[in-house]
């Protein structure tokens, strides 16, 4: 039982981060119909930005995270600006463009921070909470809380604000949205910026749990992408459920299948996607590709 609960805690913590990464993928996809392959690298830049500000300037961690979100949101805007001429013209080139940006960001990180990477001290000093032998690291609680808060804020923005509603409209039918006077380019830019900001949040949260280096985005990107697929690509609740499900799947597979865990995780994932190609919360409205 203790092993089960401990596995659950590990799974939920990483699941929360995967959910944030998946939400970033999804918000760009639902708005533009585009898979942003640079997303994993943006997560990495976010992790670097937050940890560098945090460790070098002794700023409180929360401030460092906000700085990181701003920096990466700007990167998101730049990526979107480069891709805009291709919007609705050449979809494949746009996809390849995002892959290229991913490589550029990774190479840029090596130039700025070096290839070695650095470990980030935990911003929460208190020890783990002991609940009847099950240990919950306080930092895990923070990660889960911040991820939940970010999800809530994003849902509010999409449903309660004019700009959010405009983005929803673009997601559903960009031609109709243009017809009613919504600036599609601006919506896309905002989707990219929010996506990058979410990536930065995920990156800054995972930094102290892992080791920040230029290639850390690879695995996180793939797992976040898989989580988004599992939940239903383009769906925000799907991203959350998919992220948590993927985190749990990963951690229980690690406990039960040892070195075959990755194989089992992705096999289960493949089977689920075969049975339900649209994922758990698949939406048919977002099919512009």
Partner 1 sequence: MHFTRFSIAAAALTALAACAPPGQSASSEANATGPIKIANVNAQSGQLSSLGQWEHKGVKLAVDEANKAGGINGRQIKLDLFDDQGDPTVGTNLARKIASEGYIAMLGTAESAVTLAMSPILKDAKIPSITSGQSPKLAELKSPFMFLNAPTSVTFDETLAEYLVDDKGYKDIALISNNGAYGAGEHDAFLAALKTRNVTPLADEVVTPDQKDFNANLAKIREQDPEVLFIGAEEVQSGLIAKQARELGVKAVFAGGAPVGTDVYATTAGLENAEGTVVSSPYLSNEASEEIKAFAAKYKAAYNEEARMHVAKAYDGASILIEALKQTCGEGGQKLADAIRGVKRAGLLGNYAYDANGVGIHETKIGLLKDGKVVPEAAS
Q: Which residues bind partner 1 (CB under 8 A)?
A: 2-3, 6-7, 9-11, 13-14, 110, 115-119, 121-122, 128, 130, 135, 137, 209-211, 213-215, 218-219, 247, 250-252, 254-256, 258-259, 261-262
Return the residue matching tokens 């700007």. Answer: 74
User: In this complex, which beta carbon is closest to partner 1, that of residue 157 or of residue 257?
Assistant: 257
CB of 204 to partner 1, least distance (A): 16
Handedness of CA 19, 15, 106, 120 (dihedral sign): positive
In the complex, what is the shortest distance from the CB of residue 251 to partner 1, in angstroms, rounded to a whole number? 5
DSSP letter at 278? T
Longest C-alpha distance within the chain, in Å? 60
Q: Which is nearer to partner 1, 70 or 261 (CB)?
A: 261
Q: How crowded is the C-beta side of 276, counted as CA atoms within 13 Å?
A: 17
How many residues belong to the chain? 289
Closer Cβ to partner 1, 11 or 232, answer by number: 11
Nearer to partner 1, 10 or 33 (CB): 10
Least distance between partner 1 and beta carbon 54 (Å): 14
- Contact (Cβ atoms closer than 8 angstroms) between residue 49 and residue 61: no
**What sign has the CA pseudo-torsion 216, 92, 76, 62?**
negative
* C-beta of 9 vs 75, nearer to partner 1: 9
Q: Which residue has the tokens 């919506």?
A: 187
- The Cα 50–Cα 47 span in angstroms is 5
To partner 1, the closest distance from the beta carbon of 242 in angstroms equals: 17
Least distance from partner 1 to the Cβ atom of residue 28, Å: 25
Which is nearer to partner 1, 176 or 211 (by Cβ)?
211
* Alpha-helical regions (H) of the chain: 2-32, 39-57, 61-83, 91-113, 138-160, 162-172, 174-179, 184-206, 217-231, 236-257, 261-275
CB of 206 to partner 1, least distance (A): 8
CA atoms within 13 A on the CB side of 50: 35
Backbone angles phi, psi at 181, to 5 degrees: 90, 20
Q: Which string of DSSP letters, residue by residue, matches 224-235?
A: HHHHHHHH-TT-
Q: Cα–Cα distance between 168 and 286 in angstroms, integer?
A: 10
- 143/182 with CB nearer partner 1: 143
Minimum CB–partner distance for residue 247 and partner 1 (Å): 8
CB of 226 to partner 1, least distance (A): 13
Q: Which is nearer to partner 1, 175 or 258 (CB)?
A: 258
């Amino acid at each position: 039982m203790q092993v089960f609960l401990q596995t659950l805690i590990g799974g939920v913590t990483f699941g929360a981060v995967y959910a944030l990464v998946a939400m970033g993928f999804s918000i760009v996809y639902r708005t533009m119909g585009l898979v942003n392959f640079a997303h994993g690298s943006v997560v990495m830049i976010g992790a670097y930005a937050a940890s560098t500000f945090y460790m070098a300037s002794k700023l409180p961690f929360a401030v460092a995270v906000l700085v990181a979100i701003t920096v990466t949101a700007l990167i998101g805007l730049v990526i979107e600006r480069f891709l805009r001429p291709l919007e609705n013209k050449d979809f494949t080139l746009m996809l390849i463009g995002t892959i290229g940006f991913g490589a550029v960001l990774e190479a840029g990180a090596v130039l700025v921070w070096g290839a070695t990477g650095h470990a980030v001290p935990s911003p929460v000093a208190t020890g783990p909470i002991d609940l009847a032998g099950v240990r919950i690291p306080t930092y895990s609680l923070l990660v889960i809380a911040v991820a939940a808060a970010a999800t809530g804020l994003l849902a509010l923005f999409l449903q309660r604000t004019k700009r959010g509603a405009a983005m929803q409209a673009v997601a559903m039918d960009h031609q109709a949205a243009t017809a009613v006077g919504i600036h599609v380019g601006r919506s896309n830019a905002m989707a990219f910026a929010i996506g990058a900001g979410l990536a930065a949040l995920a990156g800054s949260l995972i930094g102290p749990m892992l080791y920040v280096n230029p290639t850390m985005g690879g695995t996180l990107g793939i797992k976040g992408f898989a989580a988004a697929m599992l939940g239903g690509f383009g769906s925000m609740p799907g991203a959350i459920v998919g992220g948590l499900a993927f985190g749990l799947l990963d951690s229980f597979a690690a406990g039960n299948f040892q070195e075959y865990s990755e194989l089992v995780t992705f096999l289960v994932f493949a089977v689920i996607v075969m049975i339900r190609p649209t994922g758990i919360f698949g939406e048919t409205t977002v099919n512009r590709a």
